[in-house]
Amino acid sequence: MPELCGKYDPRNPSHKMLMSMLGGMSESERQHVQARVRAAMDAQVVNEGRHQGGRAPYGYVTVDGGPHPNPRKAVEGFRLRVLTVDEPCAEVVRRIFAEYLDGKGDRAIANALNREGVLCPSARRPEQNRHRLADGWQGSTVRTILENPKYTGYAVFGRWTKQEMLIDPDDVSAGNITRFRRAPAERIVRSRMPAHPEIVSVELFTEVQLLRRAKAAGGLEARRKLERGPRETKHVYALRGRVRCGYCERRMEGTPRSTRIYYRCAARSIVPGSPVLATHPKNVYLPELPVVDGLNEWLGHLFAPPQREDTVRRLLGVVPSEQDSDAMESVRRKLADAKTRLRRLQAAIEAGANPTALVDALNRAQEERDAAQVQIDATPTARAATRAEIDAMIDHLADLGRSIKHADPVKLRDLYEAVDLQMVYDAEGRTVDVTIRPGRGSERVRGGRCALSTRLHLSQKTPE
């Protein structure tokens, strides 16, 4: 008998049947051991917040946490490893989350980090990223950071699962290859209590995930088709990405003409069939120089020492930005629409419609209803900024006067980013509506930033 070290005879049907049975039993025992080990590791994560090894996420490092809690492993010299914050990298992580919420995409954030010379994760920790090229930040790197729940301080385990796939399904002898796939949500576990220091709050992380889910679901599909993405340019545009056309609400692109800079919105770049083509001129031009001069004059007056107290009082009296309230109203409309569709589908089933044919529509409506409800529940109550916060905002812009005085395009671009400048150009009225929402770097005031606005009138004629 082969199981008793006897010789295996491939021509003996009994031997072949016995080997097949023993192979099935071995595979079954292997799967049982795998399930028991996974259940034990899940319990350690849920109950103790144990770090189960592997590379530490960017922003964290692993340090010695004392003797291993298992007495046998402690005797053998094993030590417990825990995560602690790597503060320089943690600041980059906070910046990535803040800039994404401010409207920047994954690749735009990665390009900005590369321009500033910030080391990417593989360059920062080459000893644990030997399989990476360390060739700078990529959009996928930013996406991985934005989707990692460990930054909230909770231990998370099982986000990826290992799968073995045949290299050639027609040739089993060619062997297999191991691939990592995203695990289903029911396989992912999280600790009940915080297991390590947080880098971003749970509320901020949830807000980012809801925004990413809304974009992935196609809710911004029409806007995405009309929106221009950032591109590498030879010239430095002080107002790049901050001027929108009043006809189509798209960002206007910088266009040099001789020694002057203009911002243009061309009708030919609009998606064919769009309703805005009916009223949009062939080209809309906005000269940079008169806009920058008027804008700098207003900002210099707004934050000058004699005007500082009046600016603080105005900011204290401003209700937080209406952008958040508009977004919340849109979410409430989506919730009401999903509930209405659910009621109609349920009424159709009660009236005798085939439930099988309505399964997809029911699931889709229920998912939209649940997503909208989660977003409403996760949104904090809006509040106005305090006097201390506004003083901190203005102190953060202490070099405002020097930046305006030198009028260097690079410094002006950084300045406009610091005050979160947004402008809309009305070509018919020759006016530019300006709005600023001062903030402190990557710190965000809950409930929206306080806003100040003005209207600039242009007199210079622009080319057609």
The DSSP line for 224-287 is: HHHPPPP---SSPPTTTTTEEETTT-PBPEEEEETTEEEEEEEGGGSPTT-GGGGT--SEEEEE
- Distance of alpha carbon 396 from alpha carbon 399, whole angstroms: 8
* Higher pLDDT pick, 352 / 380: 352
Residues 349 and 296 in one domain: no
- Distance of alpha carbon 364 from alpha carbon 345, whole angstroms: 11
Give residue 87's pLDDT: 92
DSSP 49-112: -----SPPPTTEEEEEEEE-SSHHHHHTT-EEEEEEE-HHHHHHHHHHHHHHHTT--HHHHHHH
Tokens representing residue 50 in the block: 């144990």
Check if the beta carbon of residue 311 is closer than 8 Å to that of residue 302.
yes
Confidence of residue 386 (pLDDT cuts 50, 70, 90): low
3-class SS at 176? Answer: strand
Residues 162 and 56 in one domain: yes
6-32 core/surface letters (b: 16 or more CB in 10 A; e: else): eeeeeeeeebeeeeeeeeeeeeeeeee
Residues 161 and 45 in one domain: yes
Residues 309 and 336 in one domain: no
Give residue 97's pLDDT: 94
Percent of the chain residues past pLDDT 70, beyond the cut: 80
* In the predicted structure, residue 225 carries a pLDDT above the cut 50: no
* In the predicted structure, residue 441 carries a pLDDT above the cut 60: no
Q: Is residue 463 part of a domain?
A: no
Q: Is residue 221 part of a domain?
A: no
Residues 6+ apart with CB under 8 A from 327: none
Residues 402 and 368 in one domain: no
Residue 177, domain extent: 13-201
Percent of the chain residues past pLDDT 90, beyond the cut: 18
Give residue 223's pLDDT: 46
The number of domains in the chain is 3
Residues 40 and 129 in one domain: yes
Residues 429 and 393 in one domain: yes
For residue 306, give Cα distances in angstroms to 16, 309, 311, 391, 440.
Answer: 95, 7, 10, 15, 22
Q: Is residue 63 part of a domain?
A: yes
3-class SS at 189? Answer: strand
Tokens representing residue 132 in the block: 């990476």
Residue 177: enclosing H or E segment and its boundaries? strand 176-182
Check if the beta carbon of residue 288 is closer than 8 Å to that of residue 263.
yes
Most confident of 68-77, 303-312, 344-353, 438-447: 68-77
* Higher pLDDT pick, 303 / 368: 368
- Distance of alpha carbon 361 from alpha carbon 103, whole angstroms: 31
Query: How does pLDDT run across 388-409, given as a tens digit for each residue?
Result: 655 665 565 545 555 555 556 7
* In the predicted structure, residue 443 carries a pLDDT above the cut 50: no
For residue 387, give Cα distances in angstroms to 315, 399, 419.
Answer: 9, 20, 17
Give residue 404's pLDDT: 59
Residues 264 and 352 in one domain: no
Residues 6+ apart with CB under 8 A from 71: none
- Distance of alpha carbon 232 from alpha carbon 270, whole angstroms: 21
Tokens representing residue 281 in the block: 């001129």
- Distance of alpha carbon 368 from alpha carbon 273, whole angstroms: 28
Mean pLDDT across 459-463: 52
* Higher pLDDT pick, 4 / 199: 199
* Phi/psi of residue 379, nearest 5 degrees: -80, 125
Give residue 315's pLDDT: 63
Give residue 33's pLDDT: 93
Question: What's the mean per-residue pLDDT of the chain?
Answer: 79
- Distance of alpha carbon 366 from alpha carbon 342, whole angstroms: 7
- Distance of alpha carbon 70 from alpha carbon 264, whole angstroms: 67
Give residue 410's pLDDT: 76
Give residue 376's pLDDT: 73
Q: Is residue 213 part of a domain?
A: no
Residues 133 and 164 in one domain: yes
Residue 315: closest CA among 451, 183, 179: 451
* Higher pLDDT pick, 170 / 117: 117
Residues 6+ apart with CB under 8 A from 7: none
Last residue of a domain, one of 346, 363, 378: 378
Mean pLDDT across 89-110: 90
Give residue 22's pLDDT: 84
Confidence of residue 284 (pLDDT cuts 50, 70, 90): very high
Q: Is residue 102 part of a domain?
A: yes
Lowest mean per-residue pLDDT among 99-103, 224-228, 315-319: 224-228
* Phi/psi of residue 67, nearest 5 degrees: -60, 150
Residues 129 and 251 in one domain: no
Q: Domain containing 145 — which CATH number?
A: 3.90.1750
Residues 307 and 173 in one domain: no
Give residue 320's pLDDT: 47
Give residue 341's pLDDT: 85
Mean pLDDT across 313-341: 70
Q: Is residue 137 part of a domain?
A: yes
Last residue of a domain, one of 201, 236, 257: 201
Confidence of residue 334 (pLDDT cuts 50, 70, 90): confident
Q: Is residue 462 part of a domain?
A: no
Last residue of a domain, one of 356, 378, 400: 378
Question: What single letter denotes the amino acid at residue 180?
Answer: F
Give residue 144's pLDDT: 92
Residues 367 and 245 in one domain: no
Give residue 174's pLDDT: 78
Most confident of 171-185, 371-385, 441-455: 171-185
Give residue 392's pLDDT: 62
Give residue 439's pLDDT: 58
* In the predicted structure, residue 321 carries a pLDDT above the cut 60: no
Confidence of residue 220 (pLDDT cuts 50, 70, 90): very low
3-class SS at 40? Answer: helix
Q: Is residue 34 part of a domain?
A: yes
